Amino acid sequence: MDLHQKLLELKLQVDYLISLKKEDITHVIKSSIYELENLKVFSEEDLKQINKVILTNEPFNNLYFKYNKESLITRGAVYLQDEDDLIFITSLFYFFKIRIPTLLNTSSKLQLQSFYIFLKSIKENNISEKFLIKIDD
């Protein structure tokens, strides 16, 4: 299957992601972060950075959207690949929080381990993982 076909598959998952409750998404991210904390790989500062994903407000929380109760309609998928483990993990959580299907390529053992922790949390919460596609080099 080529990259274009995989991206088309992911675009079909947008409506499913939009249907998820905010509480479910937050719970998956929090439980994943808890598991990552138990690995004792990250420093306290790194964990604070990862936790910012769930602590920040919605991405379009400016005055116009806040008072008009409107949100931008976004469609599409993201390709996630980064050498920095912290950026990769934070991005993975953030894209899930804002409900964007993700095609990803891990570049380290820690990224792969974090991805599997995230998948485990998703499955434990009865959420389909079809919005994530991992590709290998």
Burial class (CB in 10 A: 0-12, 13-18, 19+), 33: buried
Under the phi-then-psi rule, with left for phi > 0, alpha for psi from -120 to 50, and beta for the rest, what region is 105?
beta
Confidence of residue 5 (pLDDT cuts 50, 70, 90): confident
Q: How far is CA 55 from the centre of its chain?
A: 14
Residues 6 or more apart whose CB falls under 8 angstroms from that of 30 comprise 54
Neighbours of 116 (CB within 10 A): 13
pTM of the model: 0.82
Burial class (CB in 10 A: 0-12, 13-18, 19+), 13: buried
Instruction: Write out pLDDT tens, residues 52-104.
Output: 887 766 555 555 555 554 555 667 889 999 999 999 999 999 999 989 999 99
Which pLDDT score is estimated for 74? 64
Which token pair is 75?
A: 């469609």
Q: What is the pLDDT of residues 14-54, one digit of tens each?
A: 889 989 998 899 999 999 999 999 999 999 999 998 988 87
Contact 102, 78 (CB under 8 A): yes
